[in-house]
Structure 1
Amino acid sequence: MTQTAAMPGVAGRGASRASRSGGNAIDRARKRLFVPFVGPALLFYSLLFVGPAVYAIWISFTKWSGAGPMEFVGFGNYIRLFSDQLFLKSFGNTLLLLFVVGAAIFIVSFGLTLVLRDMAGRKIARSVIFFPHLVNAMIFGVLAGFVLNPGGLVNTLLGWLGVTDPPAWLAQDNLFPLIMVMLTWITTGYYTTILMAGVDRIPPYYYEDCALAGANAWQRLRYVILPLTWDVFGTCAVLWTISSVKIFEIIWIFGGSTGQGIPPTQTWSTAVYTYVTAFSGESIPAYGMASASAILSLALVSVLVVLLRRVMKRDAIEF
């Protein structure tokens, strides 16, 4: 009886040891596969991204023209940036792109999402709205400069309508607002597609429950759609934060359409400031200043992403 009673325990311990040995074997196999499969990717990423980023941080503490010896200046480049009115203007423009254009994009995108949700032919409408995002921003910059120039299509049409004194669309004070409008138009389709995918995943029975409870459109939006797509909004906010700091092409091309080559300083973002500081042929390149500008942009993105993740963090809703 005693031997028979002990048998289940012995069997259980044996099974437990076998399970642990099997688990250890799997762990060892994973470790062996880590080097040949993940190692090359990590090496590639380090050489192309981590290494240059660390080197750029080092350059930001030096005074260097790209040739000859480097002169270590500590935080001198960063101090000079915050006393440089051109950098402050560029930084302010970047914040306008981030917050003002971002707010316009999300308002329009979410509005289109709600309008197209139950519309017939929504797939065709989604494709039409998404199309501007597929076209390179440089093409839009060239076309906008061609259409809005004094003898362009817009002024010609206004002349046919009897407008004898059309606005100077490409005046320097008008360029940056036009760039903001174009960015809103180009980018809205991309975020509309993401938000529509988030709304589409909401199960139909939530809307059926709302109808049975007598909820109106505002209550359905507040208590169903927004809570169940909040994580999608958070993802879109992070994506736009990263994208807005890198805006360069449309400013460079559209601003350069005024015939000056380099865009007017009123339109510069930090990305344009960094490029001109590093590669402009009008003065000695200042790679230290340009690297400091890029590092500050990276710091801005990092801080904002962390804040967004904290502010928009909510308990996960499973459905």
Structure 2
Amino acid sequence: MTVYERNRKLVIPFLLPALFLYLLFFIYPAIRGFYYSTLEWSGFTQAADFRGLGNFFELFQDQWFWRSLSKTAIILSLGGSIIFALVFLFVILLNSGVKSRNFFRAVIFLPNIIAPVAITILWGFIYNQRFGLINGFLRIIGLDKLAQPWMAPEYIFWSMIIMIVWTYVGFYLVILLSGIAKIPPELYEVAVIEGANPTQMFVKITVPLVWDVLSIAVIYWGIFSLKMFEIIYSFSGFLPKAGIWTTAVYVYILGFGKINPIYRLGYATAVAVVLLIFVMIFVIVSRYVLQRERVEY
């Protein structure tokens, strides 16, 4: 018996408990969820009508589903683009010899340790039309005409994106900085000797060597943004306006919200199943697009 075969038999008993928990808490709920998605069911009674794929056919004709999906896509693409653009900017600034580097990194990361509900309350005060920070500042500098009702239907979604960017940019900055910390400083020293400026070093050295970390961060943002719920749900006072419904919020509204008809848990599960499929597609496509030859150092 080879060492590999002996170790394999030793590893299997240790994997079985984890495999059992994975099947119990992930695979089984996913299968049950797909079953519930075929029912017309409120979730509160035993009465349920089997619809087969009827919920899915209804879903693709549901204008609110497509609107919520478009909002989710905007948060994924626009919000992600702004977040990673700011991350790159902060990386360049923090690595340019700025003093108190750790202090600024901690300040940028700070929103991630605040509860989402507290963040939405804070930004609710900032956006307040009468005594909010933004409108108050505009009035002080004499730009009263630019003061707007930032929580009004025509502005609330874009106001929410700003809040989301402010909240999560620090998390992805720390991830990228952790990858940069592993790059040998000798590479930058050689680049300086050869006359490279900070931008050239960032593009030619930093980005290629942290590409794996950056790819993971992008995929994680995609998964997180597609499932984002609590910060959006609480942003408009736990009564989310239709203008900011993402797909995850729409699932909750269908299952437990007060819309007509209320408590359509079967249909809500169908929307959740489709959302899961979109998440899987995003992960597969992202891994393929972001895959590149590994750079060794």
Q: Same fold (TM over 0.5)?
A: yes
In structure 2, what is the Cα distance between the partners aligned to 1:179 and 1:238? 22
Match for 1:107 among 55, 68, 85? Answer: 85
The one-letter code sitting in structure 2 at the alignment partner of 1:267 is I
The one of 36, 42, 60 aligned to 1:65: 42
Map Cα deviations across residues 165-216 of structure 1 (whole Å, 9 max, x no partner): 6311211111100100000010000011111111221111211222233334
Q: Which runs of 5+ in 2 are unaligned?
A: none
Does the 8 Å contact 1:133/1:190 carry over to 2? yes
Q: Distance in 2 between matches of 1:79 and 1:141?
A: 35
- How many residues are paired up? 292
Which of the residues 214, 230, 233 maps onto 1:233? Answer: 214
Give yes or no for the alignment of 1:91 onto 2:72. Answer: no
Match for residue 173 of structure 2 among 185, 192, 197: 192
Paired letter, 1:153: G
Aligned to 1:13: none
Whichever residue aligns with residue 52 of structure 2, its letter is G
The change in CA–CA distance for 1:52 and 1:22 in structure 2 (over 3 A counts) is closer
2:99 corresponds to 1:120? yes
2:285 corresponds to which residue? Answer: 307
Aligned to 1:214: 195
CA contact (8 A) 1:137 1:249 kept: yes
Q: Distance in 1 between matches of 2:81 and 2:3?
A: 53
Query: Aligned partners of 1:42 and 1:49: how far apart in 2?
Result: 10
Judged with a 3 Å threshold, the aligned counterparts in structure 2 of structure 1 residues 163 and 285 are, in CA distance, closer, same or farther, namely: same
Q: C-alpha distance in 1, partners of 2:4/2:282? A: 41
State which drifts further: 148-157 or 269-278: 148-157
Tell me which moved more, 157-166 or 81-90: 157-166
Map of 1:316 onto structure 2: 294
User: Are 1:262 and 2:239 matched, yes or no?
Assistant: yes
Deviation at 1:225, TM superposition (A): 1.4
1:143 counterpart = 2:96: no
In the alignment, the residues of structure 1 paired with residue 3 and residue 286 of structure 2 have an alpha-carbon distance, to the nearest angstrom, of 42
| Cα contact 1:141–1:254 (8 A) shared by 2 | yes
Equivalent in the alignment of 2:155 = 174
Change beyond 3 A, Cα 1:315–1:23: closer
Q: Compute the displacement of 1:267 (Å).
A: 0.6
Cα-to-partner distance string for 1:18-43 (whole Å, 9 max, x where unaligned): xx466554444334xx1xx3333322
Distance in 2, Cα, partners of 1:238 & 1:201:
21
Residue 16 of structure 1: aligned partner: none
Deviation at 1:164, TM superposition (A): 5.2
Q: Distance in 2 between matches of 1:241 and 1:152?
A: 35
CA distance in 1, matches of 2:3, 2:190: 48
Which structure would you say has the larger Rg?
1
Amino acid of the residue matched to residue 106 of structure 1? F
- TM-score scaled to structure 1, two decimals? 0.85
Cα distance in structure 2, aligned partners of 1:107 and 1:273: 29
Distance of 1:266 and 1:141 partners within structure 2? 16
Q: 2:265, 2:164 → 1: CA distance?
A: 29
Q: CA 1:268–1:26 in structure 2 vs 1: closer, same or farther (change >3 Å)? A: closer
Question: RMSD over aligned Cα, in angstroms?
Answer: 2.0
The one-character-per-residue Cα deviations of 1:82-138 (angstroms, maximum 9, x if unpaired) are 211111110000000000000000000111011101322211111111001111121
Which runs of structure 2 are paired with 1:38-77 in the superposition (5 Å)?
38-66=15-43, 67-77=45-55
The separation in 2 between residues aligned to 1:156 and 1:223, in whole angstroms, is: 44
Rounded Cα–Cα distance in structure 2 between residues aligned with 1:174 and 1:61: 37
Deviations 1:125-164 (A, max 9, x none): 1111100111112111112223322333324454455555
Q: Distance in 1 between matches of 2:281 and 2:17?
A: 30
Percent identity between matched residues is 33
Q: 1:204 aligns with which of 168, 182, 185?
A: 185
TM-score normalised over the length of structure 2: 0.91
Q: State the shift of 1:70 in Å.
A: 2.5
Structure 1: gaps spanning 5 or more residues = 1-19
Match of 1:15 in 2: none
Looking at structure 1, the residues matched to 256 and 129 of structure 2 have their Cα atoms a distance apart, in angstroms, of 31
